[in-house]
Structure 1
């Protein structure tokens, strides 16, 4: 498996990895094929996931700029086509109490407003673009996997209500059984805004809208060399050279450390894995997830899950440390064990799909939308920490504003600061391995 800390680039025109999403997405929309000759452009966008496609779309629609998108493999080949499918008010992985402690109530309110706007941006694109992506009814539950987590959830509900003026609710252990049967459900924090959908269909829909607006999307065209001189950027692909005045880096967790020294070391790629079961019987649905709401738990190494429209269960969580380890069947088994522990009625259930991919965690565990100080007219967004389905689309929109000349398109100061590089980079994965061991120990208490 491609490993951003090891491999120079993700590949050249590789097909999508096998997954439930790929098997159920239908036919991909038309792209512009691999780049076959040298071109000179105003804006080049590296990466055709949610961020890059949204940036291309909004540049064309709102700023009259027809960008060229360069994708190493296929549109949404990375996390945008592999994720857990939750579009919600989220971004990064910093608890609300810690966010308020770090930045104060005012900044937390601005950030919450931006995350809310992100969800509405996705809703708007789906509606206006007639994107058929199997949208499910709203509802997000953060489920207490242990009884001792209930008090923290209640405090979090209080912060949402009192500081953010948002109508989050605490759901008691008895009440949560209406939507989440089985074990490890001692109560929940409920957010009324947030939905699940088919993530690859969503990406393909945004791709279609971007090309209709005038963007060009070249697949099979990884950037294998990048040099800059006198305000111009030379991006070398296997089929041709792109000379660009402005560049947007939208590769997030798939950013190779060799892409450019200015972007290296600013995110840690973290592997997340998903399994999908066979379809459930009516009784199995009744004993597990009667509804279709988005679910995730309160473990340090959290699990996320939902019932799909065809009555399968999607279940995901953190797994391997390196790309080489990701193929081990043990990670699939670990997810299966966690699913059956949570829902004893599914003990021994068959798993029909198993896949994984890289999410990106920044040093602050929060996203970024910034202009690189080391390079002229280069912009980047990412660091969603596995919570980026809606926020990545918003980041693409904000990057388009920055490319068009707005230096700070949001009221959130920390979003526009250069993300710090991770210290001791040769030892990052050793530290991650130690952290995972500690988290597993804590989750078992």
Structure 2
């Protein structure tokens, strides 16, 4: 029997924005999809358009979908969830990444000069922090609860509260490309960071719990909301999957050719049979529990894996896939190229068929025989009249008297009888 992930049924829709795409994200529950680029496109989970506005290089949306943030040049713009403009402000330099807290109360921007700006809901910059002057920020990540912010650049890794207070930093420079990407667990207690070819798993105080040499530069990382699973991709076309203790559970070579395009997923055929050697992953997303992993690759492939390493769905896009997003439960995935948006929708499991209920059978009717009413103790039974004794014959009475059995009354009773007897 195939695993449940493989036997599940998947649907897909595509959306063509009509302008260059520079990012894609969505709310954790998938109720709102946000596409950035030459225009902002806000979509329903079925791919229909809600609203759109001009320009939006970098984008973010609050978990409650009430706050939409986008950037253009060095400007930051805020819209409400239904597309109403709120405000715009300028930051130090062109933003490299932007995130927003789940409730929309804080917006955090990392720019090209190494400055991290913390902005409140009214558009006021409440704090700015220079990580390394002149070194551009490569990635900004936020914990699921919105309380912890991670920032990475070639100069190191920093951790902040949402109010802009620095908690710790790893300022050692890494050889090669330096810090490229990072991801935080839901409570911010675990951080996965790709620094050159080294994958690091950090704890809440910045300590390195474990690290793994991935041989080639890391291109993308993701961590489950629980912090139990980490996945990373490299320029050697490898997709790696780890548990929280650093154990490598499986790896997948996305560039290795295989006969007829068949790969390890049971019953699944990769739609990119040529699989060119430079088909590395450019973005990864993982579900809250780590059960689902969505990837987008330079060889135009969108792939969905289950956490046992099985490829359960794949689709070929029109161009290299640069951005992906996945709902917390893994039921909706979104991928984007520079000109196309593709979804993968897992159908809900069918409701189990209830066992047939036998027709109602009337219970047998048992006749009820009424009990006789109880006797009333206050009612006395009628008296029983004793039968009168049979009278004795005169001879018997005389015989009884003479034998001493009779009574004086017998003598009196015999007198009238004796008078009728003739004497001889």
Give me the TM-score of the superposition, normalised by structure 2. 0.22
**Bigger radius of gyration among the two:** 2
Bigger helix share: 1
Q: If each structure's strand is expressed as a fraction of its own residues, which one has the higher value? A: 2
Structure of greater relative contact order (alpha carbons < 8 Å, 6+ residues apart): 1
